[in-house]
Amino acid sequence: MKIVCSKASLLNGVNTVQKAVPTRTTMAILECILIDASTNEIKLTANDTELGIETVIEGEIQDRGVIALDAKIFSDIVRKLPDNEVVIETDATFKTFITCEKAKFNIIGKSGEDFSPIPYIEKNNEITLSQFTLKEVIRQTIFSIADNDNNKMMTGELFEIKENMMRVVSLDGHRIAIRKIMFDRSYDAKKVVVPGKTLQEISKIIPGETDQMVNIYFDENHVMFTFDRTTVVSRLIEGEYFKIDQMLSSDYDTKININKRSLLDCIDRATLLVKEGDKKPIIMDIKDSVMNLKINSFIGTMDEEIDIEKEGKDIMIGFNPKFFIDALRVIDEEQISLFMVNPKAPCFIKDEGENFIYLILPVNFNNGNA
């Protein structure tokens, strides 16, 4: 095999697929990036059997072939090459020569025949949305997934499609994030759980252009995202997702309209008094047209008032400040509405059309220390 390409094109391809190289594996071949120049295009692939990424890079194929190179060594070499044309050449013993200007590397590769190809998914019934929309919906929900495997279902996000609407849901046992996307056409009903890791990696590599599209395809066990010249295939999380609609009560005793930035800044200031690992709640004491926010930690106390519009009963309720900050940071609206029932029931942050819903469970607090 012999290929010639620019360092920029090669580095972009390596950075894209490297997200699917496993950090720990007993299969040495999976620690490699596959360079496939056996057809008329140069493809780079990485695959950890749960997540596979393939991208096509610009370049010239002078001799066709396939080689698998250790991902860490190869990516480190490419990163430090001069910004010029790169030649990659292999021989029959899998010796690989990487040349750029006066820099010459000679490393041992592996047979591409042993590399696990990414699963094939038929390209039919695709769902199409803009790169920007997909990137945004991931950003607006991904913080609510669980970061451990105690409940596998909580480490993924529900993608639920009904006619011309897709609902994306994440939860971790303390909060729920929901975003709704409307399409300009209807699709077949679909309900799948996509691993959070897959969505995080897609969010990093997708350019996020408003005028560029992403196609999403499903089969029984996998989901595939295609954009630009990149393909991401992921295994789905098997099982029945939580019954979300049963958790989304529309009843409330207190409704508050408040400026989002004022609330976010206030809670952010309060966290200056909370060390990492401390479980000190922020107390919202809501009376008439004022929300009084208080925090009492080992470092000190903070007390601040924000003007609000209130419907319904007064209420005093406590929350983990981080959960509120995470939700408020991804809401673009200037004015938001909070819906509460009592100090032990969830608080909902949502817009009128329920294009976004954030549910946050309250925490117990000692009234005397609030």
Q: Which tens digits make up the pLDDT trace of 227-242?
A: 999 999 999 999 999 9
Tokens of 262: 């004022």
At 92-121, the pLDDT tens digits run 999 999 999 999 999 999 999 999 899 999
Instruction: pLDDT band for 369, please (50, 70, 90 cuts).
Output: very low
Which ranges in the chain are annotated with CATH 3.10.150.10? Answer: 2-114, 127-245, 248-369
Sequential DSSP letters for 114-150 = GSPPPPP----S-EEEEHHHHHHHHHTTGGGS-SSTT
If pLDDT is split at 50, 70 and 90, which confidence band does 368 have? Answer: very low
CB atoms within 10 A of CB 208: 16
Domain 127-245 sits in CATH at 3.10.150.10
Alpha-carbon gap, residue 208 to 228, rounded angstroms: 11
pTM: predicted TM-score of the whole model, two decimal places: 0.93
Measured CA distances, 363 to 145, 211, 283 (Å): 19, 43, 9
Res 277: pLDDT: 74
Whole-angstrom distance, CA of residue 35 vs CA of residue 153: 34
Tens of pLDDT, residue by residue over 7-56, are 999 999 999 999 999 988 888 999 999 999 999 999 999 999 999 999 99
> In Å, how far are 17, 86, 131, 169 from 212, measured between CA atoms?
20, 29, 6, 24
Q: Is the pLDDT of residue 370 over 50?
A: no
CA distance 235 to 128: 20
For the record, the structure tokens of 23 come out as: 């950090």
pLDDT of residue 367: 57
Class of domain 248-369: alpha beta
The pLDDT value recorded for residue 23 is: 86
Residue 149 has pLDDT above 80, yes or no: no
- Homologous superfamily (CATH) for 2-114: DNA Polymerase III, subunit A, domain 2 (3.10.150.10)
How high is the pLDDT of residue 295? 94
CB 292 within 8 A of CB 285: yes
Q: What's the pLDDT score for residue 125? A: 84
